[in-house]
Amino acid sequence: MLVASRHGAHPRRRRAGGNGVADELALPLAGGLALLLAFVTAAAVLSGGDRREEGDRRRPDLPGGAAGPRVAIFSAPLPPPDSSPARQELAVRSWLALPGNVSVVLLAAHPSAHALAGRLGGRVTVDAAIDISFTGTPFFHSIVARAQAADSDICVLVDAEIILLPETITLLKHFSRSDLDWLVFSASRNISAFPYHLVDNGTQWADEHGKQVSFKKENQSDKWAGHGSDRGLIVAWNNPSTRMVAGVMPSFLNGRGVHNWWLIHEVLSSETRLVFDASNLVLGLYPENFSEKRGTSTSRNVSNPDGSWEYDVNRHLAALYGSYCYELPRRNSPMVYKVVKQFEDYMFSKNEGPNLSNSVINKEQNVHPEGGSLCEKEISYSSAVNLPHSLEVLLELVADKNRSVVLAVAGASYRDMLMSWVCRLRRLRVTNFVVCALDQETYEFSVLQGMPVSRDTLSPNNVSFDDCHFGTQCFQQVTKVKSRIVLKILRLGYNVLLSDVDVYWFHNPVSFLHSLGPGTFAAQSDEFNQTGPINMPRRLNSGFYYARSDDATITAMEMIVKHATNSGLSEQPSFYDILCGKDGANRIGDDRCLEPSTNLTIVFLSRDMFPNGAYGGLWEKKHGVSSACRELGCVIIHNNWVNGRRKKLHRQMASGLWDYDPGSRLCLQNWSNASRFSVQTDDPVSYDS
């Protein structure tokens, strides 16, 4: 019997053309002998563990003496009307009926998920800490990362409406006896009707006549047809802390095709795990053809109800990342092992063909009836991804009940900071924001990261990556774009909170700012002196202000845009000179101005609540800016009064007021591995490529 060493926490990528695990076992072997060894290694996973079964039953780490591995099932249920609550509940009940130590994690924030968990007991929990696009669609790479952080022996990913049969746990228990890293997948079966229900407190299936069924005879593979849909796949793997793929997992939209097949293919090509195809077994049932579910819409996707652009995004990503669209080397290439069952024994056979082209890419073509190869289309056209939404439609989708929106304007030089800003808003459950991209690169990045983004075609084309900070000519050009876009949105009937992406939000300020009432323009003060008036000349910060869509504000903004257009400075002096008058002629008291022609009141916001980057030395406090702001009652803090993009990035990252991991392209969550994310102390740079 061969004994393989267990992979480390971060398995290295093997040399091209090798057999991964087999290489570790027998480096001197080559050709047919190495291939034979790979077969033996795979066989050890399926059949070599019977001798350890008794030891598994006595494992002390399983609560309540439950037999077998700890299995965590992860799923991201959609809210109604995009899904069937009845089918979801039946599916989750089937998971809880599986024998052994099984728990369920629903990755969602909507009330229906919490209601479902409340009905089903303590083994079902809800975790909303995953990345979600503006349409409400979860990101697949965030779901996988959350599963990888689980304290379990085996993770399972499955659609929220797939019924899992007891065979699932039987197979996983068998696999769990191996010390090797593995991944197993299976295509669920489509059924027109499911005439079974759970009895005995949800532990036993019965037919429509009340007769108990075991599914050992009822689930022959030729009775229910399988379907190669990506959404219909069941994927499971062991050792969650061990790396899945060698490279970066792109930001696939969950349930929008390709991502499961891409993951399987990339695990295989990365040679981090043995890969098994258990589709010959009936592990899961779905009471409807998945291909009929392609038209699933989201409540925030009204202008494009079939969601086809989300499928386009996933196909685009699959073609760009990894080896999904490329054939693996034929000589000594990694293999997928088919799992079959004869009587009560599991056996395996090599997949015909040395790569995944038949098992993966051709199956996925069945989901796209327009014909042609998914990969050939994407590679030949290399078309940019685009949202099918105009700015007007985006505003309609995201605006809150008061018709208020939060606007950020950013270019490629501040892409990481933009993403950290978006991650923070997502954590605060702020959904009424929209991004204006200054360049095509930022626009495409924002689309792929699930932002409601619009491309400003009139933006300057010569935006510098490292030399576009305060005082530069580039800065002057970019700031004038912001006021022009704000004016456009105001004219469309929406209130606007303009927030630079270097403004960190502790709390959502929109309700407070809106409560200041009509005829009011609220802005951050850029005054750095601790005492004295905060509305002194040129101390209005145009990087954070709230403008209402009323006649007075629109007229004032028109004057600001005109003044800035004819100025050789940035837009910021234009704001003060128009609203407060030259040298502060329109000042009222220490914190207000009154624009005489419109009767618009300008409110300079409290610096304790809305501090700028120089106020009180908050960024330099020894006990940390976060703690200092908590004591002060900050709503936001601006990371300005620092010269240069790199210094600005470093100060914010080092302070802990940072919510994005550029390496994984994921928002940082309470379950994230913070040790993977570090700040360079000398010359921090953007990690995105």
Which residue type is seen at 634? C
Q: Per mean pLDDT, which of 217-221, 229-233, 267-271, 517-521 is the most reliable?
A: 517-521
Residues 598 and 556 sit within 8 Å (Cβ to Cβ): yes
Q: What is the pLDDT of residue 681?
A: 37
Bridge partners of 436, per DSSP, are: 409, 454
Condensed to tens digits (0 to 9), the pLDDT of residues 152-208 reads: 999 999 999 999 999 999 999 999 998 899 999 999 988 877 888 888 777 788 888
Q: What is the pLDDT of residue 680?
A: 41
Chain mean pLDDT for the chain: 80
What is the DSSP secondary-structure string of 264-332?
A: HHHHHHHTSSEEEE-TTS--EEESS-GGGGTT---TT-TTSTT-HHHHHHHHHHHHHSTTTTSPPPSTT
Q: What is the pLDDT of residue 307?
A: 56
Across the range 388-398, mean pLDDT stands at 95
Q: Percent of the chain scored above 90 by pLDDT?
A: 55
Contacts of 155 (CB under 8 A, 6+ apart): 71, 72, 74, 147, 148, 236, 237, 240
Angle at 309 between CA 303 and CA 314, to 5 degrees: 150
- Compute the distance between CA of residue 273 and CA of residue 334 in angstroms, rounded to an integer: 10
Answer with the residue of higher pLDDT: 204 or 689.
Answer: 204
Contacts of 524 (CB under 8 A, 6+ apart): 540, 541, 543, 544, 545, 604, 605, 610, 612, 638
SS3 159: coil
Answer with the residue of higher pLDDT: 672 or 313.
Answer: 313
Residue 9: name the closest of 243, 325, 213 by CA. 243
Across the range 405-419, mean pLDDT stands at 94
Q: What is the pLDDT of residue 47?
A: 55
Residue 81: name the closest of 302, 275, 236 by CA. 302
Residue 74: name the closest of 159, 141, 138, 176 by CA. 159
Condensed to tens digits (0 to 9), the pLDDT of residues 16-62 reads: 333 433 333 232 223 343 444 455 565 655 554 443 433 343 333 33
- Compute the distance between CA of residue 580 and CA of residue 535 in angstroms, rounded to an integer: 8
Residue 93: name the closest of 244, 197, 239 by CA. 197
Q: Is the pLDDT of residue 13 over 80?
A: no
Q: Is the pLDDT of residue 677 over 80?
A: no
Q: Is the pLDDT of residue 223 over 80?
A: no
Q: What is the pLDDT of residue 328?
A: 62
Q: Percent of the chain scored above 70 by pLDDT?
A: 74
Residue 437: name the closest of 413, 405, 411, 415 by CA. 411
Q: What is the pLDDT of residue 675?
A: 53
**Which two tokens mark 470?**
């305060």
Q: Tell me whether the CATH fold assigned to 71-291+308-351 matches the one assigned to 393-663.
A: yes
Q: What is the pLDDT of residue 539?
A: 95
Across the range 470-479, mean pLDDT stands at 56
Confidence of residue 341 (pLDDT cuts 50, 70, 90): confident
The domain at 393-663 falls in which architecture?
Answer: Alpha-Beta Complex (3.90)
Of 325-329, 394-398, 515-519, the range with the lowest mean pLDDT is: 325-329
Across the range 220-231, mean pLDDT stands at 64
Per-domain residue ranges for the chain? 71-291+308-351, 393-663
- Helices 645-655 and 415-427, interaxial angle, to 10°? 30
- For the domain made up of 71-291+308-351, the CATH class stated in words is alpha beta
In degrees and rounded to multiples of 5, residue 186 shows phi and psi of: -150, 140
